[in-house]
Amino acid sequence: MEAATNNLENLENSKFYNKLVSKASLKRLVYNNTKEVFQEFKKAAEHICTDTRKSLRDNNEKIKVDFKDKSEFEGEIIFAGDTLIMSMHTNVFEFPRLHNVMKTPYIQQDQTRSYSGVINLYNFLTDSFKYNRLNDSGYLVARVFINKEKHFLVEGKHQTGFYFDQFMNNPIEKDSIRKIIESAILYSIDFDLLTPPYDMVKETSVNEVFENSFFMKQKTGKRLGFRFQADHDQTKE
Condensed to tens digits (0 to 9), the pLDDT of residues 14-62 reads: 777 788 888 999 999 999 999 999 999 999 999 999 999 988 876 766 8
What is the band of 225 on the pLDDT scale with cuts at 50, 70, 90? Answer: very low
Report if residue 12 sits inside a domain.
Answer: no
pLDDT of amino acid 62:
81
Written as one letter, the residue type at 197 is: P
Residue 98 lies in a domain: yes
Helix (H, G, I), strand (E, B) or coil at 158: helix
Whether 230 has a pLDDT exceeding 90, the answer reads no
Q: Is the pLDDT confidence value at 197 over 90?
A: no
Number of domains in the chain: 1
Q: What is the pLDDT of residues 130-175, one digit of tens each?
A: 888 777 888 899 999 999 999 999 988 655 555 677 898 899 999 9
Q: Is 233 contained in some domain?
A: no
3 located within any domain: no
| 169 domain residue, yes or no | yes
Instruction: Convert the pLDDT of each residue in 72-117 to its tens digit.
Output: 999 999 998 999 999 999 999 999 999 999 999 999 999 999 999 9
What integer pLDDT is reported at residue 103 of this predicted model?
A: 93
Query: In sequence order, what E strands does the chain have?
Result: 65-71, 74-79, 82-88, 93-94, 115-125, 139-146, 152-156
What are the b/e assignments for 131-148, b being 16+ CB within 10 Å?
eebeebbebebbbbbbbb
Q: Which helix (H) or strand (E) is 31 found in, with range?
A: helix 15-56
Query: Residue 7: inside a domain, yes or no?
Result: no
118 contacts 145 by C-beta, under 8 angstroms:
yes
Higher pLDDT residue, 220 or 229? 220
Instruction: Say if 60 falls within a structural domain.
Output: yes
Which one-letter amino acid corresponds to residue 120? N
* Closest-CA residue to 191 (of 153, 119, 140): 140
Q: Please state, in angstroms and as integers, the Cα–Cα distance from residue 10 to each residue in 5, 7, 16, 23, 55, following that order.
A: 9, 5, 10, 19, 66
What is the rounded distance in angstroms from the CA atom of residue 85 to the CA atom of residue 38?
A: 12
Q: What's the pTM? A: 0.79
Domain of 85? Answer: 33-217
CB 189 within 8 A of CB 82: yes
* 164 or 234: which leads in pLDDT: 164
- DSSP codes of every residue in 105-140: HHHHH-GGGGEEEEEEEEEEEHHHHHTT-TT---EE
The reply to whether 18 falls in a domain is no
CA–CA dist 102, 100 (Å, integer): 5
